[in-house]
Amino acid sequence: MDHATLIEQAAHSIIANSGIKPPAPEIVTALLQSEKTAKQNKVNYQFNQFLGKWRLCFITGTKKTRQRAGIIMGAGRYLPPFVKINLSYSQESLTPDTPNNEGGKMENSVQVGLMKMKVYGPAKFLPKKNILAFDFTRMTIEVLGVKVYQGFIRGGEKSERNFYQKRVANQAFFAYFFVNNSAIAARGRGGGLALWGRDS
């Protein structure tokens, strides 16, 4: 089975709650191979390919090392079915200077039981590097469907206003290397890998 098929199967197993999951080590290998292939082929994506709602399915960590060989990948794991973490992208503008077709809004929601927390803010995409930078500037908390908090967080109003002037090197970002209609995968700034499946 090729790496793309394995990645799609892993995402589908969580979205469909099928219980048939490819072994985690195989998914880590498939993600690393996909990342290598995307770099070799100089694949470029567009922001509109990310629009929609994606559910986090699989993550890896990184191991600390004193060697100079670079980041060592930690073990990968599937997210349990009772934890629902969604990532959503839209072209909704939170600031007046959002670049056309290159940015919009990114939202991350976590639902555990009866509580749902959502953080969101501006996002921008750099097609030449397949990097999607973002900043969570606002938060909403709901309990039993009732909104108990909504507002800016961590100086979010100022951060949001200055977002598009900041260098990506100083921002949180995902470097995407696998993008299709059913799944997306990226390496985070901290070095870990993440896989999402389309949830809507």
The number of C-alpha atoms within 13 Å of 100 and in the hemisphere containing its C-beta is 0
pLDDT in tens, 38-81: 999 999 999 999 999 999 999 997 655 444 445 556 679 999 88
- Is residue 157's pLDDT more than 80? yes
Q: What tokens does 83 get?
A: 């934890």
The label of the residue with tokens 């498939």 reads: 30
Q: What are the backbone angles phi and psi of residue 166, rounded to the nearest 5°?
A: -80, 150
pLDDT in tens, 1-36: 799 999 999 999 999 988 789 999 999 999 999 999
Q: Are strands 115-126 and 84-90 parallel, antiparallel or unpaired?
A: unpaired
Can you tell me whether residue 63 is helix, strand or coil? strand
Domains of the chain: residue spans and CATH: 3-198 (2.40.128.280)
